[in-house]
Amino acid sequence: MNMKEMFDLKGRVALITGGAGLLGTHHAEILAEAGANIVIFDIDKKTCEEKAGYISDSFSVDCLGIAVDITDKESVERGFKKVMDKFGRVDILINNAAMTLAASAFEGLDFFAPFEDYPLEIWKKALDVNLTGMFLVTQQAVKVMKEQKSGVIINISSTYGNVSPDHRIYEGIKNPYGPGNMGSPLHYAVSKSGVLNFTRWLATYLAPYNIRVNTLTPGGVFHKHDKKFVDNYSNHVPLGRMADEEDYKGAILFLASDASSYMTGSNMIVDGGWTCW
């Protein structure tokens, strides 16, 4: 197999949760550029359809945008029915969706409240989206992949799933979406660390079916951040900067393609060296 063949995804179907979001869009772009047909699962119907149109037009592949609430079993099942009706298969699943800071469901609640006063509603919702949603989507994907006797699953974790955040970099940084200062809540570290063993458990369970499961651990991505925070974060990174939105395209393509055919149960850390310290 030559280099082009290793990375060729022509004819494969890649499903990306949170595929209309900041990183999800870039995941879709690189897989579509390699020839894969794309399915975008995201919560907002209009955004899903817009991103699907953009991917289809830009890369000449089929792209299906489906509004799915990944925390709702029936919504996930309906989404997969549409995928199977359209494509009849799922070759690649990227579990990318996660609860965002700007989530409107918590209007009036402090997303960055101190641990001892942390709102239970946010804690529960974060675990529901970041872990239960991954569980529900992967269940449906595995049913398809086991029948195919092939598949690739990529679960997105975070630097803070591997190490504790350095709380000092958030000192004096205001929350742009609500009250109080920024920080990194416990639910994020807990859910993202859970992704690591979700991957390992599934990797051993699914290996007999030729289904590979790996984790991608990205570092912080720059997106309209406060300059002081960017400086604080960058000073903690050996490469001296936050990630660019496109810095994970190569890793996603590698994990999704035959270039990583002997890799399963692993955690690929791409964080500018943050976890080296």
Total residue count of the chain as it appears in this document: 277
Q: What is the C-alpha R_g of the chain?
A: 18
Place of tokens 């051993």: 204
160, 170, 188, 233: which one is catalytic?
188
**Single-letter code of the amino acid located at 224:** K
What backbone phi and psi angles, to 5 degrees, belong to 64? -110, 120
Q: Which pair of tokens denotes residue 16?
A: 């990306």
The enclosing H or E element of 65 equals: strand 63-67
Spatial separation of the C-alpha atoms in residues 130 and 149, rounded to whole Å: 27
Task: Answer yes or no: 188 catalytic.
Answer: yes
Q: Which pair of tokens denotes residue 243?
A: 């990630």
Contact assessment for residue 98 and residue 187, using Cβ atoms and an 8 Å cutoff: no
Spatial separation of the C-alpha atoms in residues 41 and 53, rounded to whole Å: 14
DSSP labels for 89-155? ---EEEE-----TT-GGGTTS-TT--GGG--HHHHHHHHIIIIIHHHHHHHHHHHHHHHHT-EEEEE
The enclosing H or E element of 267 equals: strand 267-270
Q: Tell me which residues are annotated as active site.
A: 188
